[in-house]
Structure 1
Amino acid sequence: MSVRQKVIMMLEFTKLHKNFQRFFRVVPALTEELVNEAYRVRHSVYCEDLKWEAVREDGFETDEYDNQSMHCLLQSVQTNEFVGCIRMVHGNPSDLSAPLPFQIACEKTLDPGIPDPELQQRRAIAEVSRLAVIGKYRRRPDEKDRAVKISESDYGTIHRPRFPYIPVGLYMGMLEMSRRAGIDTLYILTEPSLAGHFCKLGGKLNPIGGAIEHRGTRAPYQMKISEVLKGMNMLMRPLNKVIVRDIELAYKEAEERSGKPIIFARDFMPAAVPGR
């Protein structure tokens, strides 16, 4: 790529935040109704499209970790439909030494000392999981068996640049929700190729163990929130500011309704996932 081409693409990428605002908004799921929307997106992807989980009569895909999780949604500005979701699993409040999902799946491949016991006791760790994008926003031949995917084609060409707004927007939303909750370290079990693309954008995902077979090849990674925010690509910062502002407004409105600060899932959710 020539210098001129690089300049053109860089200029195009300076508009990321404006283009994002035209099409999407990040919505932290701070009400029971919004959490149910996340369950519906997951059911559409994991149960109906990919058939990784059994179809359920209520149309909600949930598991035992949802009672200790916070959720984030991505909404279409034009249609108001929710097109994607992601969740952050906190430690079990009744047993902080209890393993997170990735610890169970990667028990035999994790590096020694993962996760940090001190951070675990301080409730400063969490796991990001259940990233999903509804079918019509990922209808490409190589995505039929995946909940989400990023490839070089998502960035387009020099003549027609593109950007993977949906997964990046969801990860940025969850990053801000994690920061607000006092989380120091996030863990994620994901495809190595997906992790590589986030690293290119300044994600700083550090491998912490060997890969496993879990609906495809997955490997565990660690993300230090302070490092990600400090090392974020300059072109990504305006987009991150837009997402942070949306989340701050949503938290403010939710806290005004509840009359108390919202930090963890239990601060706004019922004691148990209703009807599950």
Structure 2
Amino acid sequence: MSLFDRFNLGAGFSKYFKIEAAATDAVRDEVYRVRHEVYCEELKFEPERPDRRETDAYDAHSLHCLLRGAQAPHPSVGCIRLVLPAPDALAAPLPFETTCAHTIDRRIIDPAKLDRTRIAEVSRLAVRAAYRRRKGEQNVAVALQDEDYEEVGRQPRFPYIPIGLYLGSVALAARNNVDTLFVLTEPRLASHFSKLGVEIKQIGGPVEHRGTRVPSMMDVQSIIKGLRFMVKPIWRVIHEQIEASAPPR
């Protein structure tokens, strides 16, 4: 019997974590501090900043999620952002369009020709070191492994943190009328996501960006409709929490 069949993943997520849209300056400040801790202080991907906040020009037109511990004092665990095209410069490239300018296969899809108001890029996924205890995670912002979907002895395991953050970004995308998500990530992400019922399509060749990464795309509504039956409870919990914490429409 698989982990999916034995456990309610929604209840499991709620027991340990809660997720929220970064709808206030205070929550966004927590996001930037998590990013600085992971990207600047631990992994040295970015230079350290005097104010200990990791930000860039894309944050001005991005949406953010913050994952916390479910129990008081609700410590920050990790974060993720959704980069939208700038409203006053829709044609300006998203980060992956610059990084992968020469590797995107435009016969598959040309992001420049899409309705730019309905696309976004998932990026800046970061998890604090205290929650990255598994083998192979020390030098990456977060990781997924094949064993995450199995049982180890009598103990089930499920990658609540990365999957929770990815689903949080999907909930934000759906809420903001985004149809297509792009992501620059490790080549094996597709095989991990397929276990959840999520189809992710590679749209270009690999690039060197903090390791080997490939540009990929996902359809937001197809993700929501295609989630495996036993994954739907965690999606419902995350969707409800994002809706409850996001600003009024």
Both structures adopt the same fold (TM-score exceeding 0.5): yes
Question: Which letter does structure 2 place at the counterpart of 1:29?
Answer: A
Tell me which residue corresponds to 2:98: 104
Q: Secondary structure at the match of 2:183?
A: strand
- TM-superposed CA distance for 1:143, in Å, is 1.2
- TM-superposed CA distance for 1:161, in Å, is 1.4
Q: Secondary structure at the match of 1:84?
A: strand
- TM-superposed CA distance for 1:94, in Å, is 1.2
Tell me which residue corresponds to 2:37: 44
Q: Secondary structure at the match of 1:218?
A: strand
Tell me which residue corresponds to 1:267: none
Shift in alpha-carbon separation, 1:144–1:187, aligned structure 2, 3 A = same
> Do the aligned residues in 2 keep the contact of 1:114 with 1:208 (CA within 8 Å)?
no
Q: Secondary structure at the match of 2:152?
A: coil
Matches of 1:99 and 1:217 in 2, distance apart? 21
- TM-superposed CA distance for 1:229, in Å, is 1.1
Q: TM-score, normalised by structure 2?
A: 0.94
**Which of 108, 114, 134 does residue 110 from structure 2 map onto?**
114
Matches of 1:12 and 1:116 in 2, distance apart? 44
Unaligned runs of 5+ in 2: none
Question: Which letter does structure 1 place at the counterpart of 2:14?
Answer: Q
Do structure 1's residue 19 and structure 2's residue 15 form an aligned pair?
no
Matches of 2:194 and 2:143 in 1, distance apart? 15
Matches of 2:212 and 2:198 in 1, distance apart? 20
**Which of 192, 199, 207 does residue 204 from structure 1 map onto?**
199
- TM-superposed CA distance for 1:181, in Å, is 0.5
Tell me which residue corresponds to 1:220: 215
Q: Secondary structure at the match of 1:246?
A: helix
Tell me which residue corresponds to 2:155: 160
Do structure 1's residue 95 and structure 2's residue 76 form an aligned pair?
no
Matches of 2:168 and 2:86 in 1, distance apart? 22
Q: Secondary structure at the match of 2:63?
A: strand
Do structure 1's residue 82 and structure 2's residue 76 form an aligned pair?
yes
Q: Secondary structure at the match of 1:143?
A: coil
Deviation per residue, 1:164-211 (Å, 9 max, x gap): 001111111110111110100000000012332122212211100001
Do structure 1's residue 185 and structure 2's residue 185 form an aligned pair?
no
Deviation per residue, 1:222-257 (Å, 9 max, x gap): 000111111111111111111111122113xx33xx
**Which of 148, 153, 169 does residue 174 from structure 1 map onto?**
169
Do structure 1's residue 56 and structure 2's residue 49 form an aligned pair?
yes
Matches of 1:246 and 1:10 in 2, distance apart? 22
> Which is greater in Rg?
1
- TM-superposed CA distance for 1:158, in Å, is 5.8
Unaligned runs of 5+ in 1: 256-260, 262-276
Matches of 1:140 and 1:175 in 2, distance apart? 25
**Which of 234, 237, 250 does residue 232 from structure 2 map onto?**
237
Matches of 1:140 and 1:176 in 2, distance apart? 27
> Do the aligned residues in 2 keep the contact of 1:190 with 1:219 (CA within 8 Å)?
yes
Matches of 2:5 and 2:198 in 1, distance apart? 21
> Do the aligned residues in 2 keep the contact of 1:90 with 1:126 (CA within 8 Å)?
yes
> Do the aligned residues in 1 keep the contact of 2:5 with 2:230 (CA within 8 Å)?
no
Tell me which residue corresponds to 2:142: 148
Question: Which letter does structure 2 place at the counterpart of 1:50?
Answer: L
Tell me which residue corresponds to 2:58: 65
Deviation per residue, 1:26-74 (Å, 9 max, x gap): 1110001111111001001000110111111111001111101010010
Matches of 2:203 and 2:28 in 1, distance apart? 30
Matches of 2:134 and 2:9 in 1, distance apart? 23
